[in-house]
């Protein structure tokens, strides 16, 4: 056998699977706000791992280290812990996690998920050219997105004149509240603001909304409310406040949901990680926008609140829960 033929035969004996198995497992760091015990965070992590598996990353060639910063003031410690592991890629769930990781490293690639305005926050230079070591998937939506949420509640509660908006004052995206307030004003609706920075504050916030005679409530969307979905659904029922939420996790008991498909965003993050692990730089991966939006109406909750849902709203819904 000639030397060239011998080398070719030897290469064929080493299957792609065997070569793959010989590689050192890659390490991924996953950072989120919360204690990791809630349904929402568990679903986010599962969706992300599903996305990785779709690209061939399984337990044998991948190690995932998750840190759920709880309470939120433990975020610096969680970040330091992940950085010390020297991961190949870091995943940031939400704006606070993304900002914390970006401040901590300029070398480890970072993929953020569910950040409304990464340019305004200073995470990236632009959506098309992120620059630096960070990219990801935004929840960047049309300018009238929050206005549409007000309109949905107005259709559910036709006589509503006061709507409370539940916010975390530490949320960096609060400038969007004023845009929502302007839209509400055009509809003849007064938009009240109630605040919560901790789970315990949620009880006070809902009591405040009720005391101010709010006709309905909007969850602005925040890691706190994402994690505390069951508690918020219960409080809305207790105070009989028709509500519109941002995340699908609220569909089980919440009156209405309108927002980007969060599970899809985390699954798509797997594609970013796959490309980075194969050599693509974050700076060369444009930030992507959501492609799937959901309007979900829970008829059981509507009936419990004594609401009649208009057929025009049901026709537009992606899902109606009976």
pLDDT computed for residue 301 by the predictor: 98
Cα–Cα separations (whole angstroms), residue 60 to 28, 99, 148, 168: 13, 31, 45, 40
Cα–Cα separations (whole angstroms), residue 88 to 44, 53, 66: 20, 17, 14
Of the candidate ranges 65-74, 123-132, 194-203, 300-309, the one whose mean pLDDT is the lowest: 65-74
pLDDT computed for residue 143 by the predictor: 62
pLDDT computed for residue 262 by the predictor: 87
Nearest to 49 by CA among 40, 38, 58: 58
Q: Distance between CA atoms of 251 and 233, rounded to whole angstroms?
A: 9
Residue that the structure tokens 């992606």 belong to: 318
Mean pLDDT in residue range 36-40? 65
pLDDT digit string, tens, across residues 6-20: 444 444 444 444 444
Nearest to 185 by CA among 211, 158, 150: 150
**Strand 134-138 relative to strand 162-167: parallel, antiparallel, unpaired?**
unpaired
CB of 282 closer than 8 Å to CB of 133: yes
**Mean pLDDT, all residues of the chain:** 88
Is the CA virtual torsion 270, 274, 280, 281 positive or negative?
positive
pTM of the shown model: 0.83
Mean pLDDT in residue range 55-78? 87
In the predicted model, is pLDDT for residue 1 greater than 70? no
Residue that the structure tokens 């929502």 belong to: 180
Write the burial class of residue 311 (CB in 10 Å: 0-12 exposed, 13-18 middle, 19+ buried): exposed
pLDDT digit string, tens, across residues 262-292: 889 999 999 999 999 999 999 999 999 998 8
Mean pLDDT in residue range 291-318? 95
pLDDT digit string, tens, across residues 128-176: 999 999 999 998 766 678 888 999 999 999 999 999 999 999 887 888 8
Cα–Cα separations (whole angstroms), residue 45 to 59, 91, 220, 224, 227: 15, 10, 22, 16, 13
pLDDT digit string, tens, across residues 197-249: 999 999 999 999 999 999 999 999 888 888 899 999 999 999 999 999 998 88
* pLDDT band at residue 23 under the 50/70/90 scheme: low
């Amino acid at each position: 056998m000639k030397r060239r033929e011998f080398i070719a035969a030897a290469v064929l004996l080493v299957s792609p699977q065997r070569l793959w198995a010989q590689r050192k497992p890659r390490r991924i760091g996953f950072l989120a706000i919360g204690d990791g015990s809630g349904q929402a965070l568990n679903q986010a992590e599962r969706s992300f791992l599903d996305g990785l598996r779709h690209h061939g990353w399984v337990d044998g060639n991948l190690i995932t280290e998750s840190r759920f910063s709880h309470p939120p003031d433990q975020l610096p410690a969680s970040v330091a812990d992940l950085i010390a592991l020297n991961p190949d890629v870091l995943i940031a769930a939400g704006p606070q996690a993304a900002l914390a990781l970006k401040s901590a490293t300029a070398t480890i690639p970072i993929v953020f998920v569910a950040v409304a305005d990464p340019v305004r926050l200073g995470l990236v230079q632009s959506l098309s050219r992120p620059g630096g070591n960070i990219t990801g998937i935004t929840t960047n939506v049309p300018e009238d997105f929050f206005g549409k949420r007000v309109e949905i509640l107005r259709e559910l509660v036709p006589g509503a004149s006061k709507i409370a908006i539940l916010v975390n004052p530490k949320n960096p995206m609060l400038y969007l509240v004023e845009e929502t307030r302007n839209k509400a004003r055009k509809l003849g609706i007064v938009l009240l603001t109630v605040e919560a920075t901790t789970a315990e504050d949620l009880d006070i916030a809902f009591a405040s909304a009720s005391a101010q005679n709010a006709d309905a409530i909007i969850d602005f969307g925040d890691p706190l409310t994402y994690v505390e979905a069951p508690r918020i659904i219960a409080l809305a029922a207790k105070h009989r406040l028709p509500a519109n939420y941002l995340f699908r996790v609220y569909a089980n008991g919440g009156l209405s949901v309108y927002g980007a498909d969060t599970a899809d965003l985390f699954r798509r993050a797997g594609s970013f990680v796959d490309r980075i692990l194969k050599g693509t730089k974050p700076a060369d991966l444009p930030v992507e926008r959501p492609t799937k939006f959901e309007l979900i109406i829970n008829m059981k909750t509507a009936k419990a609140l004594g609401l009649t849902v208009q057929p025009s709203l049901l026709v537009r819904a992606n899902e109606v829960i009976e």
